[in-house]
Structure 1
Amino acid sequence: MKYMPGFGNDFETEALPNALPQGMNSPQKCEYGLYAEQLSGTAFTAPRGQNERTWCYRIRPSVKHTAKFKKVEMAYWKSAPCIDENIISLGQYRWDPIPYSEQETNFISGMKTITTAGDVNTQVGMATHIYIATKSMEDEYFYSADSELLVIPQEGRLRFATELGIIDIEPKEFAILPRGLVYRVDVLDGPARGFVCENYGQKFDLPNRGPIGANCLANPRDFKTPVAAFEDKEVVSKVTVKWCGQFHETTINHSPLDVVAWHGNYAPCKYDLRAFSPVGAILFDHPDPSIFTVLTAPSGVEGTANIDFVLFRERWMVAENTFRPPWYHKNIMSELMGNIYGIYDAKPDGFVPGGISLHNMMLPHGPDAPAFESASNDKLTAEKLDNTMSFMFETRFPQHLTPFSALEAPLQDNYQSCWDAIEKKFDGTPGTK
């Protein structure tokens, strides 16, 4: 695949020579008989540095991509608010990997919601999902009017054939699919399973680095945006739209991926998580996990995110006289974690690749008993954590379990027992550690 580097930059790309107008966005007539159309990701009057839009030059205007809609059901894809009074979301929860089923599913029909937070109708909050894809979408297309999707493969490779080009992703990478963008998902290596964060609120952006300065964490140049590619197919196609938590379907007689050229700053992208450069303590003490933020979706409260996407990957641990794993804590953020591969240092047992855990707002959590004993008593030398890549979606909103995650998914009923072996060590003698 061909890509252009950069995150939030202005791009221009064309699949046919001279398809892009020069000096104007909407000429009286476009080359090749194309139609000019703008896709806006923000309000027209958003501040200049935040204004996002892309001009598309396409074979048909996208109004030709929709006919009368009919409502369809997606049994396992839920949107906030999704609150069942019979389900208790207050607790520490952990799940084994969602198993593959015998029934074939594609990326959309195989979406299973784990938690929801906020309200899709007021465009705040998020939802977390697991996708199970065993087949490609054939002449089927999708877009979400509700949200952008952050997709993290855990097994199998996917191809996103979008209006603005093609993105291939594999485990250790992720893709961002903007709100309103039409795409088809092909399974390149299957079966495929992964994690999805559905963001209802402000778009994901790179976090401010503050005292860290200009370098480390995720760099804009490592985000890759596709070059223009188009389909000119006269074939009956199905388009499914997610709107206000409901799903609607229409049929058209051609492929909607017919953008021949485009320019702008509202586009899908991919990122290789191996390019993330973590920073940390190099003498003593333990920084907050926010130091590992890859992307953040801001809320209306400065410094308190609608969503933070945080990555715990291979890294050196060198702090002296310090408890190195995450400490015991509770806070205002609700934390959903996923294991992409390897062993997570705070939970060496039970949190397996493909697994998920949830620690909701103001509920205490932290290392299990073996991790605590090891971190408290081992001789501290410079140590590299290898074979590890886990992430966290955290949000300022409480995350509510869905009927699927509470009743059907492989919930570990004994998860809380991982803290049972923690002993009382207090004896009241001064100087005792």
Structure 2
Amino acid sequence: MGEATPQPLFNTKKFHWTDAKSKSVTRPEDPYKYLAGFGNEHQSEFIPGALPIGQNSPQLCPYELYAEQITGTSFAATRATSMRNFLYRRRPACVHGKFTKIDDNPSVEASFLNPSLEVHNVPSQLSWSAFKIPDKAGGAVDFTMGIHTLGGSGQPNIREGLAYHIFAINSGMPNKAFVNIDGDFLVVAQEGHLDITTEFGHIYLQPSEICVIQQGVRFKVDLVEQHSPKGARGYIIETWGTKWELPELGPLGGYGLANARDFLFPTADIDTCSTGGWSIISKQGGKYYSTSQNHTPFDVVAWHGNYIPYKYDLTKFVYHNTVSVDHTDPCINTVLTAKSRDIHAPLCDFLIFGPRWDVAEQTFRPPYFHRNCASEFLARIYGPDKVGGRSEVFAPGGASYEASFTPHGNADERTVGAMYADMKAMRVGENQLTFMLESCRSLLFTAWALKDSGHLVAEDIPESIWDTLPDRFGKNEEAMALLKAMGRA
């Protein structure tokens, strides 16, 4: 990769991508070309003529390549849900040695079935300060060993559930590839720039961008040193037995929220520079296995299909909200959704909150006090170090969690101020970007999240915080007079 030239126009604190008035679909640091369109059939060839025409598996492929299929759904899936690809590569992926058990990443967990000694119920709130990027002086920590599980629900073996992880790395993956057999990774970049090599080509990922790498796809994560002097940090949402989709738009019509055209897919880019042997690390049931081969796993010259890693820039999100009265439920900010077996409750919704306008009139503008059936996990990508209230979010790189039906809302001086504020149009979320995961599941948490990480701030909000929410009704003279007249004072 050549050196990228940073451009101040693309400061992550901009209101929206359009503020930069760019004629490119990517930021200036990104050196790669992409295909656009969520859910599309795509095809790409690094060498012209490498894709067979009119069939998938000719007797002899162009340039004597090997045809190899990868399927992300069952063979008999409906046409609308079928996900698969044909890859045309120098050597089939089956050309490798025996898989052997290796030392696990001790802070990765994949089983969240109660009762268990490994994971724990938490009935209220958790908050973590910014997770530490490992010091390079302490040794190399690459993506395979830099993943740390916070919590989850279910198990990959039963194709049902999810896990929330953070990653913190200081090294790339020379001659090493990773493949997650358990499920799909949705990766959120928070600090540092990542050059992700996949079998389908490259994805360049930087803060406020996300990417999805599907189950069974081989990839490697390297640091872009110019923009990652200390390393990189971010979040991973792992889903089992379901795929990320765009939410339905309903009365919004054909456009809005995350538009399909803004999702970008890599183009074929065969690795011709690597030499020597390669290690392939496979995660299955949260355990690590390794095999070796004497050729690069990224030797795909051409491909076609719809089971492809992709990325999305969160600054392209099109916000919608009320233009009259009342606060809109947070689902209006859903970027992607992963369905569960319950058609009325998704396994996970990925939401974002960034700079936008609030114009609601005669309305308590902060989120109303609420108890949701959904659990809520929040993390700040950039912005102020701390925002108060029961839904506490600490510095960028940290996180907070609210269990299902735990009462929460804003519990500080801003609440009273919002009750008597001048109802003018105002900007909210200025200079910040936060994402939230809403799930129909209450999570079970790992010992690493609750103790070993050293970043747990509090298991609950102190009771004293509620002293800022007095009983104002009890001091209202009109209300007390009415109660007295009713014989209830």
Task: State if a TM-score over 0.5 links the two structures.
Answer: yes
Any conservation in 1 of the 2:168–2:234 contact (CA below 8 Å)?
Answer: yes
Q: Normalized against structure 1, the TM-score is what?
A: 0.95
| Count of aligned pairs | 432
Contact 1:118 1:397 in 2 (8 A): no
8 Å CA contact 2:119–2:446 kept in 1: the answer is no
Which 10-residue stretch deviates more, 83-92 or 165-174? Answer: 83-92
Partner Cα distance (1:414, 1:116) in 2:
17
Is 1:145 the counterpart of 2:181 in the alignment? yes
User: Contact conserved, 1:92 with 1:365, CA < 8 A, in 2?
Assistant: no
From 48, 55, 69, the counterpart of 1:38: 69
Q: CA–CA distance in 1 between the matches of 2:315 and 2:252? A: 20
Q: Corresponding residue for 2:253?
A: 213
Q: Indicate the residue corresponding to 1:416 in structure 2.
A: 461
The CA distance in 2 between the partners of 1:138 and 1:396, in whole Å, is 39
> Residues 149-200 of structure 1: CA distance to partner in whole angstroms, max 9, x if unpaired?
1111111000110000000010011111011100110011321111111111
For residues 61-100 of structure 1, the aligned pairs below 5 Å read 61-81=92-112, 83-84=116-117, 87-100=120-133
RMSD: 1.9
Q: Give the corresponding residue for 2:16.
A: none
Looking at structure 2, the residues matched to 372 and 85 of structure 1 have their Cα atoms a distance apart, in angstroms, of 39
- The one-character-per-residue Cα deviations of 1:104-132 (angstroms, maximum 9, x if unpaired) are 31122111111111222111111111100
The residue matched to 1:185 in structure 2 has which SS?
A: strand
1:387 and 2:431 are equivalent in the alignment: yes
Equivalent residue, structure 2, for 1:269: 310
- Point out where structure 1 has 5 or more consecutive residues left out of the alignment: none
2:201 aligned to 165, 177, 181, which one? 165
Equivalent positions of 1:231-250 (< 5 A) are 231-232=271-272, 233-250=274-291
**Alignment pair present for 1:229 and 2:269:** yes
Matched, 1:112 2:148: yes
Q: Please say which of residues 114-123 and 416-425 is displaced more in the overlay.
A: 416-425
- Contact preservation (8 Å) 1:80, 1:127: no
Q: 1:70 to 1:119 in 2, by over 3 A?
A: closer
Q: Give unpaired runs (5+ residues) of structure 2.
A: 1-31, 481-489
| Paired letter, 1:388 | Q
Q: Distance in 2 between matches of 1:205 and 1:25?
A: 27
User: In 2 relative to 1, CA 24–349 (structure 1 residues): closer, same or farther, beyond 3 Å?
Assistant: closer
Which secondary structure does the structure 2 equivalent of 1:416 belong to?
coil
CA contact (8 A) 2:111 2:154 kept: yes
Q: 1:310-355: CA deviations, max 9, x gaps?
A: 1111110000111111221112211111111114866497622112
Cα distance between partner residues in 1 of 2:372 and 2:416: 24
Pick one of 115, 121, 130 that aligns with 2:157: 121
Moved more, 272-281 or 181-190: 181-190
1:357 aligns with 2:393: no
Counterpart amino acid of 1:37?
A: E
Q: Tell me the equivalent position of 1:295.
A: 336
Deviation digits for residues 47-85 of structure 1 (CA, Å, limit 9, x no counterpart): 111111111001111111452322431111111316437
Distance 1:78 1:419 in 2: 35
Q: Residue 451 of structure 2: SS of its match in structure 1?
A: helix
Residue 309 in structure 1 maps to residue 350 in structure 2: yes
| Structure 2 SS opposite 1:387 | coil
Task: Tell which structure's C-alpha radius of gyration is larger.
Answer: 2
Q: Helix, strand or coil for the counterpart of 2:243?
A: coil
